[in-house]
């Protein structure tokens, strides 16, 4: 899948669930519920045991029907393993230029973590496809995204860190291409109650995004 198609597809959904489950099985169960709930995208972080294999298994199960990426990627070795596993996109918590260069070489979408205007511009110039503003709420939430977009409208951004269904719409209105949601959407252990929570929160997030774009 071409990286521009991945980025457009994820932006259309408007929500990227960040998966930090305790087990491989829970990660797969969470993604199954997300897909059923109309959120066919998942960022499988490296905190999930054997994350590259989880990504490979998910891509084998869903193919192009679900965008599956690797998250919390901090080294080139992790990035290489994730890409080899079939990751549609790579997400880093910080800017690592070697990872950006590798993803550009392989034609894989790379979303880099940055916070200050200088960090955002440096990562963009290095070749990042989109900037993950983290931790967004700690810097003022939606208003910070708006302040970044003022002088830097050409740089696409998406917030994570403190995003909820209650503020997701404001982030979108203030310039975010999509939002990233963690434990508020996907708990660390996936049992019956967790699955119900995922369904409920998915509906709330999607409704917030749709309303903000209307």
- Read off the pLDDT band of 1 (50, 70, 90): confident
pTM of the shown model: 0.97
Euclidean distance between CA atoms 97 and 202, whole angstroms: 33
Per-residue pLDDT tens for 164-196?
Answer: 999 999 999 999 999 999 999 999 999 999 999
Rounded to the nearest integer, the mean pLDDT of the chain is 97
Burial (CB count within 10 angstroms: exposed 0-12, middle 13-18, buried 19+), residue 197? middle
Active site residues: 43, 132
* Domain architecture of the chain: domains with CATH: 3-110+164-213 (3.20.20.70)
DSSP notation for 147-197: HHHTT-TTS-EEE-SS--HHHHHHHHHTT-S-EEE-TTTS-SS-SHHHHHH
Euclidean distance between CA atoms 178 and 175, whole angstroms: 9
Per-residue pLDDT tens for 72-82?
Answer: 999 999 999 99
Sign of CA dihedral 69, 70, 71, 74: negative
Q: How many CB atoms lie within 10 A of CB 192?
A: 7
- Read off the pLDDT band of 20 (50, 70, 90): very high
pLDDT over 90 at 4, yes or no: yes
- Which CA distances in Å does 35 have to 99, 106, 114? 28, 27, 29
pLDDT of 39 reads 98
pLDDT of 37 reads 98
pLDDT of 178 reads 98
pLDDT of 63 reads 97
DSSP notation for 56-102: HHHHHHHGGGSEEEEES--SHHHHHHHHHTT-SEEE-SS--HHHHHH
β partners of residue 67 = 41
- Which CA distances in Å does 73 have to 91, 95, 186? 6, 10, 19
pLDDT over 90 at 71, yes or no: yes
């Amino acid at each position: 899948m071409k990286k521009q198609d991945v980025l457009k597809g994820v932006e259309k959904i408007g929500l990227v669930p960040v998966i930090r489950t305790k087990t491989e099985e829970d990660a797969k169960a969470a993604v199954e519920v997300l897909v059923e709930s109309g959120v066919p995208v998942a960022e499988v972080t490296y905190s999930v045991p054997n994350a590259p294999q989880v990504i490979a298994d998910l891509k084998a199960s869903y193919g192009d029907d679900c965008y599956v990426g690797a998250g919390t990627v901090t080294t080139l070795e992790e990035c290489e393993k994730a890409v080899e596993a079939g990751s549609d996109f790579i997400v880093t918590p910080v800017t690592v230029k070697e990872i950006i260069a590798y993803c550009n070489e392989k034609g894989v979408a790379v979303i880099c973590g940055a916070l200050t205007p200088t960090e955002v511009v440096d990562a963009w110039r290095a070749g990042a496809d989109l900037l993950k503003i983290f931790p967004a709420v700690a810097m003022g939430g939606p208003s910070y995204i708006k302040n970044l977009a003022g002088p830097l409208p050409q740089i696409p951004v998406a917030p994570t860190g403190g995003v909820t269904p209650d503020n997701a719409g404001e982030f979108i209105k203030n310039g975010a291409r999509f939002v990233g949601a963690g434990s508020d959407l996907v708990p660390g252990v996936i049992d019956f109650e967790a699955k119900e929570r995922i369904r409920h929160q998915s509906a709330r997030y999607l409704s917030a995004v749709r309303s903000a774009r209307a």
